[in-house]
Structure 1
Amino acid sequence: MTPVILTLNAGSSSLKFRVFSRDGLVRLAKGAVSRIGGAATLKAGLTGSEEVPVPLAEGADHAVALKGVLDWVMAHGADWQIGAVAHRIVHGGTKYTESTLVTPEVMADLEALIPYAPLHQPHGLEAIRASDALLGHIPDVACFDTAFHTGRDPLFTHFALPPELYEMGVRRYGFHGLSYQWLAHVLETDRPDLARGRVIAAHLGNGASLCALHDGRSVDTTMGMTAVDGVPMGTRSGAVDPGAILLLKRSFGMSLTKIEDLLYNRSGLLGLSGKSNDVAALLADGSETSRFALDYFCMRVAQAAAGLAVSLGGVDALVFTGGIGENAAPIRERVAERLAPLGTFETLVIDANEERMMAMEALRLIG
């Protein structure tokens, strides 16, 4: 039998998976279930092979989606033996500063954090419950997007609010930590000179943030208490004047549910362009609104990077990652142009690989 590690990344209507060999963490397979809750479809393939769609039951939930994934894994890897399931969990709060084996106590703690990540946390926990029901004898590992940012100076974790609110959990946590942890690992392996220096990492995708790293550790980051803060994203607003939110509620009568939907699902590139949250589509469209949306995005990313340069006391390298950061050269160029006042620094592109980072964390924990 070949020992393998399964990684899961659960969204509201999707479940992405990877299979890695335990020996060397070679990726053996990848796939995803889309449209969970509707006409769910699993699309998967072995590494080097075409991904083939497999319809699932209409209205499938995360448990049914995971069952479909496991059936596919068992059918295509007859000699694979799953040794651990690593789950991407958005919020670990202040208690979980590194990946951890899941226990009932851990689950209770993570459920208490749902109000801090209401559109992300529940789906990750649902995937853990489904995994436990289907593979109860196999350890589940929770890998947190917040963990990499723990240990920062209080200057970068506070809001300008009374201290009792900080103690209640109203603080800047930061997210995309698995992506930044992977970048730090790659730099340490391939560019130790930069790893020890001042690096601004830009994780730009449908979700977007930036992180200031020094000596491979998070110093500052653009996301705060929730994953809607910071720079604009595909459909998320990024930072908005809190007074504007109060106005929507008080003067325009918008419910909290509608405001939440606005900030998470109808803003960002989609809201600014009125067309799409897909950068490739906006670049191809070329209309005035599409150009404005992209110019606004690039300006805000550059402004955020300049602010992080202050946090670091300078910058030695700017690293792009994520779907936009890796594939949209015009966006990288526009951001770099706006950062010209910072002087000379190196610009790199490193492919995101949060899943392999999760597999590495799982391997570390199970030994």
Structure 2
Amino acid sequence: MTNQEREFNLWAFGDAHVGTDIEYGRESLAEAIRHSEFGGSEGGSAFDWDIAIDAGDMSGTHLGLPADEEGVEIRRQFSAMRKHRREDVYSVSGNHDRSGLTETAGWWWQKWIDPLGLHTEHSGVDPAARTYPVEGTWERYSFRVGNILFLMMSDINEPTQVVGRGDLGGNPGGVVSAETFDWWKRNVEANPESIIITVHHYVLKDTTVASGEWEGVRVADDGSLHEHYHRPFQQGTPNGASYLYWVGSKPDSGAFENYLEEHPGSVALWIAGHTHTHPDDSHGGKTHIEQRYGGTYFMNAASLSQHHMPITTLPISRLLTFTPGSAEVRAQCYLHTSSHAPQGFYEKAECTMQLNKRFSW
């Protein structure tokens, strides 16, 4: 088999919440890496992957801000890799990875996760070692694998919200700037021949499990808010806790949704995390993988954590296989524990996505 004929294997995960799980003695990130490379102690098989997509929430902070101590632990767990390099993982920031409104934007994320490789001494990311180099900023960047264009958008603070979860502004709902939306739109329109994969910590509204309005938290009969998929914060737009809610400081803007409605099939796949739940869950008539807007697939890849948001959390990840010359993508679900079903690939959650373009190197 020539290099041009080989499959491309994409490992997609999110929500490792390293700081939460390590408190319980569990290495959420390192354990998943070891499962992928060598298999699991409960019988899960190893699997091949070329690159990994991390959909965010490396940090496990609930009410405070991510700190250097957790960054050091994340780097230590990345060092569990034996068959891959740190640079094989491409990440976007999640809501728990945000720094404070009064701090340098995304300083913790830039220092310890560092998609651009500007802080190698802390993150261990060497930009020259990227098989597929990145272009952009920490907040939004792109890279190519064959005819696939990845558009990576980090979650940021919403500057109009100043009360909520610690100093983060209170958002359980997703946030991108107007500049990021414009960048995304320009890239989509400039690359009509590419298979475009968008990666953000959140899915769009009403796409995958529990991503509708008021579906992320539980509302009691008396109107009080209670934890379910997410923790409610009254000043943190709890109604939009499970989806990308703010775009350019406009609440529930529908910016991405409207664009995809007007340009059906322009984006092949949207990979996200944020909502942790078991692979058979269906909420609001939506499952983990759904197709919307004339051909765009939406995939929830969360979570690697076992202990963060324990009501619904189950450690899972996804493996996507692209075959040269084919528009079909095999999507497999890997269970990292045996609490739901035997550890390893869960056949019941496997599906085939039919894209509108064939993959090629």
The interval holding the TM-score normalised by the smaller chain is 0.3 to 0.5
Flag the structure with larger Rg. Answer: 1
TM-score, scaled to structure 1: 0.33
Q: Which has the higher contact order (CA 8 A, sep 6+)?
A: 2
User: Hey, which of these two has a bigger chunk of helix by percent?
Assistant: 1
TM-score normalised per structure 2? 0.33
